[in-house]
Structure formats: structure tokens, C-alpha cells
Amino acid sequence: MELYSGYINQLIEELANLPGIGNKSAQRLAFYLINLPKERVEHFAKTVLEARENVRYCKQCYTLTDNELCPVCRNGSRDASTIMVVENARDLAAYEKTGKYEGVYHVLHGAISPMLGIGPNDIKLKELMTRLQGDVKEVIIATNSSLEGETTAMYISKLIKPTGIRVTRIASGVPVGGDLEYIDEVTLLRALEGRTEL
């Protein structure tokens, strides 16, 4: 039995496909959107479209940006010889928020997960190796402390070790399975300062 109009059902379905949105939240959001003034809905839809069309990968670190290079890579005072490897752009943002890290980043856009069929070629790993041909002194692996994050860290360290570049791993003061973006700045800094050689 159709409880709502077909249009509302479609909207609920689309919203429920978003990560972290269950069916109940999707219903609440759908009714909220439908009751908004038409101009606000138009503005919302336009914002989503424009973001989708204009956001791209930074040519150097692969974070999401509006320009060819992201603000970190464009900033000449950052230490380009230290690269912190993170799983996603949100993790990068979490470290940037501390304001204490002076190196640059590399965003993998995922982690290796044999269980989910995500292999080394499905993340931006080749791109990282290409960057290492430049003047790089240290690679700090800051993937999550989940099984996937640890697998990825071990894999990367094995790849980099033979090049002679220093490879470190952030300290595991970070709760297991914890997403970096939810961890407070003090904990992040402690994890960075307590990093160990791999």
C-alpha cells in the first residue's frame, strides 16, 4: 500500500540511500523539504549540482577542491617533504583543524579491504608512489586504526621501505575503529607526536 504520493516516496527513497540516513530520518527530511519555500528548495538543489560539477581532485594530494591545487598544496610555506597519508578528505580536514601540522597530505580515498573487494589499485596508491619520486623525507601513515586502516598502513610501509624514505605510523592513542574525524584535536596531535617508525 502506498502511504504517500509517488513523488514523496521517491524522495524518501533517495534520501534513505544517503549514508547514515535511516528510513525514519529520510521521511522527516522529505517532509521538511516539501514544506520549504520553493526558492529554498531550488537553491538547495542548485548547491548540490554545482558542488558535484565543480569539485575535483587536487592534482597533487587528491583531496577535493575547487581549483587545480588545494589550499594546502598551493601554500608555499608548507613542508612538502613530509607527506601525511589519510583515508579521506574529512580526515585531512580533522588534522588541518589542529593548525599544528606543517607538512602536506595524500588522500587515498578509501582503504584496502579484501572483505569488500577493495584492493591497492582501487585507492590512490599509485599516485602516492609517483609523488615519492620527488624530494620526500617522511611519509606519516594516518589511516584509521580499523582492520582496513591497519592493513593499508602495513601495505604502504612495505612498498615504501625499499625506497629508504622514513615511514611512520601515528600512535594508536586513537580508539580502534574510530574515524579520525570524530577524534578531538588534542588526541590527534598526541597521535601525531607519538608516531613510531614502521
Binding site for Zn ion (CB under 5 A): 58, 60-61, 70, 73
Helix/strand/coil for 176: coil
Task: Give the shortest CB-90-to-Zn ion separation in angstroms.
Answer: 15
Compute CA 110 distance to the chain's CA centroid, rounded to the nearest angstrom.
Answer: 7
CA pair distance 79, 98, nearest whole angstrom: 16
Helix (H/G/I), strand (E/B), else coil: 8: helix
152 strand-pairing partners: none
For cell 583531496, the residue is: 63
Residue 187 CB, shortest distance to Zn ion, in Å, is 24
Kind of pairing, strands 166-169 and 138-141? parallel
Q: 197 forms bridges with which residues in the sheet?
A: 168
Shortest CB 178 distance to Zn ion, Å: 25
Query: H or E element: which one contains 140?
Result: strand 138-141
Cβ distance to Zn ion smaller for residue 61 or 94: 61
| Residue 21 or 64 with smaller CB distance to Zn ion | 64
Query: Closer to Zn ion at the Cβ: 138 or 187?
Result: 138
Q: C-beta of 33: minimal distance to Zn ion in Å?
A: 34
The smaller minimum CB distance to Zn ion, of residues 73 and 85, is found at 73
